[in-house]
Structure 1
Amino acid sequence: MFKRIAVLGALVLASLCPVLAAQAKYPARPVVLISPYQAGGTTETFARLIIDDVGTLLGQPIVIEQKPGAAGTIGARIVATSAADGYTLLANTSQHVMYDGMLTRLPFDPMKDFRPVGVLGSAPIILVTGRDSAYRSFEDVLAAGKTKTVTFASGAQGSLPHLTGERVAIQANLKMTHIPFSGTAPALTNVIGGHVDLLYSTAASVMQQIRGGQLRALAVSTKERMKELPDVPTIAEMGLPGFDVTAWYGVWAPKDTPAEVVDAFNKAMREASSTPAAHKRMEALSVTPNDMTADQFSQFAESERRTWLDVIKRANIQPVN
């Protein structure tokens, strides 16, 4: 009888071995990376800088799918409710960590229902104005904002460029009114046309217009000047010491995704970001590569969340439905 049990046990174990091996090998099939915005947007652009190389390193293609709507929450919800196996991931802007400060009816918890995987890259935010604007420098903006209301645009309510403008207004005690647009393109049109005074935007979205002379760059948000714009000062050096903001784009997995799966994808992201070819692609868009581990990204995301929820509170921005 004991011999029969031993034989049966061996047969069961043998039958499970292929299953266990398949589970251990990740990925065994293509991975879907959901971008919760329209095709061709900045999130997809950041992802495409390295994602093909990530797929090559992992041995499976990474397929980007757009699931836009509701400030990115439709796509995020799809990932939050997907199987926690690493085959459905989310690429999102830094707005992800502050969703619950901007929206009252979230179908998920932006931190508890997701597991941080890695950062695709980061970029400065640039303060620009139209070519014919009266604002010739950041000092002009500071002086004007003390005595009158200055308008500034961004591509979306609650976006990092929007909150960067709010943070400047708070720290410098300026009178500023935010004018949100549905995307950077209409915001650009209105600033170039002189209908709105200023625009805060990621570098990739405005460098072409700066180089073409349609926009004038007044300041950059990072602690160091941009190599591409060496004559444009940082906000910190113009009277707001310690000011340092970067727009970052991260990859997130469902909350119960195994650590080994997260680490495998993160490792491939960091390796893909470190190649000369990737650096060349990123440099063309003023993007900085990132080599955070998943644990480091988790700590960074929590820190960013605290910072920007505080800005939302101090700016008296009310969440919407």
Structure 2
Amino acid sequence: MRSRVPKAVATALAAAAAFTMPAVARADFPEKPIRFVVPFASGTATDQIARALGQGVAAESGQQVIVDNKPGGNGFIGASEAARAAPDGYTVFITTNTTHAAAQHLYKKLPYDPVKDFAPVTGLGKGGQIMVVNSRSPYASVRDFLAAAKKNPGKLSFGSGSSSSRIAGEMLQQLAAVQILHVPYKSNTFAVTDLLGGQIDMMITDTATGMPHVKSGKLRALGVSTKKRSALAPEVPTIEEAGVPGYDMGYWFAAYAPAGTPATIIGRLNGWLAKAARSPGATTFYANSGVEPFLTSPEELAQFQAEESKKWEEIVRKAGIEKE
């Protein structure tokens, strides 16, 4: 059952989604390339979906789409830059729940406001994560890994380069009653690099980032984070099936513009992204990454974001994570 958002919160979000600046979109928009700011490194799932959709938006708008990766700071660097950009439609922030639902519950102070500083455009996709270890690791299953973690509290490590990846690891510790050392990274791709090199023992990453290494034989998949198995690897059990009752952790992508972007421009961006999601490049991304299309109106995204923020606040609280 979907949670209800208090009327005051919904009203505030609706105001944010209404793009209060009374500017009117130019009839000839766009006249120059559109920039997609991505708060994570090249090769991440967010980068992949931005590039796939960017091709479709370029075809629809008649202008080039430039993907500008701004990794680091748990997404803060990219989010801050997108929030400060001119509200003219030429900057679109392609992001995830990391910056827009989880971060405010993990950190005491953000350099941006995930509601007031952005105008929602549309949801883009929803996906699950996969628990992976190095293929040379002695752990062949989730149970193997957890048994070793219980015997050696705090000795095994997990890496994360996003809030979804981090909370997935924290939730595993909580539900399985184990202690695993958390090693933070600027991006999941950097964590995967260290996992491949043997510097960390495990990570739970998005399927778009982890699955190619599983298919190449460099990583071993132990479990998937969602309630149902992934179509990309139906032989891999869910983490819940593998012995951790109640485990369920997914993530989502969405597009935002700087606050004050005219509603007419928001409407054009929304329409272009919806059409781009049906383009060959995007359908290939969705099929190969295990991400499901998730397209919304700006108002629906504002409501969804509010509900997700409440959910992530509860997850962080139950995990006992102190704000940094």
Q: TM-score of the superposition, structure 2-length normalised? A: 0.80
- In 2, Cα distance between equivalents of 1:27 and 1:128: 43
How big is the shift at 1:217?
0.7
- In 2, Cα distance between equivalents of 1:187 and 1:25: 43
- In 1, Cα distance between equivalents of 2:25 and 2:263: 17
- In 1, Cα distance between equivalents of 2:71 and 2:232: 32
Q: Structure 2 residue aligned with 1:153, among 151, 154, 158?
A: 158
- Matching residue's letter, 2:269: F
Which residue in the other structure is 2:135 paired with? 131
Which residue in the other structure is 2:17 paired with? none
Asked whether 1:313 is paired with 2:317, we answer yes
Q: Structure 2 residue aligned with 1:174, among 178, 186, 197?
A: 178
- Matching residue's letter, 1:154: G
Structure-2 change in CA distance of 1:38 and 1:199 (3 Å): closer
Q: Structure 2 residue aligned with 1:266, among 265, 270, 276?
A: 270
Asked whether 1:288 is paired with 2:296, we answer no
Q: 1:225-282: per-residue Cα shift (whole Å, max 9, x none)?
A: 1122111011233455564433322211122223332232122212211245531243
The 5 Å alignment of 1:146-295 reads 146=150, 148-149=152-153, 151-156=156-161, 159-240=163-244, 243-295=247-299
- Equivalent residue of 2:292, what SS? coil
2:71–2:187 Cα contact (<8 Å) kept? no
Asked whether 1:58 is paired with 2:58, we answer no
- Equivalent residue of 2:273, what SS? helix
- In 2, Cα distance between equivalents of 1:266 and 1:49: 15
2:125–2:253 Cα contact (<8 Å) kept? yes
How big is the shift at 1:203?
1.3
Unpaired runs of at least 5, structure 2: 1-22
How big is the shift at 1:219?
0.6
Q: 1:173-225: per-residue Cα shift (whole Å, max 9, x none)?
A: 33333222344345334434555332111112222321222221111112221
How big is the shift at 1:48?
0.5
How big is the shift at 1:90?
1.2
Structure-2 change in CA distance of 1:196 and 1:24 (3 Å): same
Asked whether 1:89 is paired with 2:76, we answer no
Unpaired runs of at least 5, structure 1: 1-19
Q: TM-score of the superposition, structure 1-length normalised? A: 0.80
- Higher mean Cα deviation, 224-233 or 71-80? 71-80
Identity across matched positions, percent: 33
- Matching residue's letter, 1:53: G
- In 2, Cα distance between equivalents of 1:276 and 1:66: 23
- Matching residue's letter, 1:303: E
2:208–2:290 Cα contact (<8 Å) kept? yes
- Matching residue's letter, 1:292: T
- Matching residue's letter, 1:89: V
- Higher mean Cα deviation, 291-300 or 160-169? 291-300
1:130–1:194 Cα contact (<8 Å) kept? yes
Q: Structure 1 residue aligned with 2:78, among 75, 92, 97?
A: 75
Q: 1:149-169: per-residue Cα shift (whole Å, max 9, x none)?
A: 26342232x521111111222
- In 1, Cα distance between equivalents of 2:136 and 2:301: 41
Structure-2 change in CA distance of 1:187 and 1:82 (3 Å): closer
- In 2, Cα distance between equivalents of 1:296 and 1:22: 22
- Matching residue's letter, 1:262: I
- Equivalent residue of 1:123, what SS? strand
- Matching residue's letter, 1:70: G
Which residue in the other structure is 1:43 paired with? 46
- Higher mean Cα deviation, 158-167 or 257-266? 257-266
Structure-2 change in CA distance of 1:25 and 1:245 (3 Å): farther
How big is the shift at 1:95?
0.9
- Matching residue's letter, 2:260: D
- The alignment yields a C-alpha RMSD, in angstroms, of 2.8
**May I ask how many residue pairs the two structures share in their alignment?**
300
- Matching residue's letter, 2:275: E
Which residue in the other structure is 1:15 paired with? none
- Higher mean Cα deviation, 81-90 or 311-320? 311-320
2:127–2:291 Cα contact (<8 Å) kept? yes
- In 2, Cα distance between equivalents of 1:213 and 1:39: 22
- Equivalent residue of 2:178, what SS? coil
- Higher mean Cα deviation, 45-54 or 305-314? 305-314
- In 1, Cα distance between equivalents of 2:315 and 2:212: 30
Structure-2 change in CA distance of 1:214 and 1:81 (3 Å): closer
- Equivalent residue of 1:236, what SS? coil
Which residue in the other structure is 1:119 paired with? 123
- Matching residue's letter, 2:158: A
